Structure 1
Amino acid sequence: MPYAPAAARVVRVVDGDTLIVDIDTYPPVFGQAIPVRLAGCDTPELNDPDPRLRALAVAAREFVRQVLADAPVELHDIGRGKYFRIIARVRVAGQDLSTLLLQAGLAVPYAGGRRPDHSVLLSAATAAP
């Protein structure tokens, strides 16, 4: 069951789909330096063996850093994932961060389960004008 939306402050962008946040309205043990996994998308890993996917992973992380740029965020549909991580829809300036990553071609849709194939991002990147 998801929890109510919560205002948060991004402490650090780990990678394209993971943030560390502080939620000031929560007690420190639950609300400080909390890793949050974005719901709805998956970005390539920074340690992927394919250098092209590593480059996309870096681009996704930098994209998220630029979009957030010290802006407050709201966490929506907060829940736990398969590894007991917090998973949430992250909204910044009224926009869903996962949707922005998908539109930028830096992420693939992801709803949990098996790890998605990121190679489709390479195909899309080479097909772009």
Structure 2
Amino acid sequence: MSVIDNLYWYKFRVDRCIDGDTIVGKLDKGRKNFDEDIQIRLNSINCPEISKAKTPEEKAAGEEAKAFVESLILGKEVVVHTYKEKDDDSFARMLADVYILGDGVTEDIFLNKLLVDKGYAVPYRVRKEDNRWALAQ
């Protein structure tokens, strides 16, 4: 693994969940001072909409996904992995894989994949060229 593979890993304190695949919080750029408000879109997945839901069922599913994410990470520190400095989506949200770190007894959890495995999200390509990881593996 080259040094470049380890770039763009950050600690992130989750202050709020907008929905199941978008979180807001503070990014730690290595000085243990969470000083920058950032909106993060979980990479390569899509949860049901809440505010723009087309049906009551979609809104309910979106609220359920949001509640699940909040139960895991709201008010906590996670680790986010971005792939390049300008890796934002069309809404200026940082695209990232999100990891809940284990405590030495439990394993780390890859939140993006967990949401798909639990049925709260589906695999989704944010951009055509996005082939970073395969959820089916």
Unaligned runs of 5+ in 1: 115-129
Q: Distance in 1 between matches of 2:11 and 2:122?
A: 26
The answer as to 2:28 corresponding to 1:24 is yes
Corresponding residue for residue 86 of structure 1: 94
Alpha-carbon distance, 1:92 to partner: 0.7
The answer as to 2:68 corresponding to 1:54 is no
Q: Distance in 2 between matches of 1:19 and 1:101?
A: 14
Corresponding residue for residue 126 of structure 1: none
| Percent identity (aligned) | 29
Alpha-carbon distance, 1:45 to partner: 0.6
Q: SS of the residue aligned with 1:23?
A: strand
Unaligned runs of 5+ in 2: 102-107, 129-137
Are the aligned partners of 1:11 and 1:33 in contact in 2 as well (CA < 8 Å)? Answer: no
TM-score by length of 2: 0.71
1:62-81 alignment runs, 5 A limit: 62-78=67-83, 79-81=87-89
Alpha-carbon distance, 1:40 to partner: 1.8
Alpha-carbon distance, 1:80 to partner: 1.9
Are the aligned partners of 2:38 and 2:93 in contact in 1 as well (CA < 8 Å)? Answer: no
1:89-128 alignment runs, 5 A limit: 89-93=97-101, 94-113=108-127
Are the aligned partners of 1:8 and 1:73 in contact in 2 as well (CA < 8 Å)? Answer: yes
Amino acid at match of 2:97: R
Q: Distance in 2 between matches of 1:5 and 1:75?
A: 6
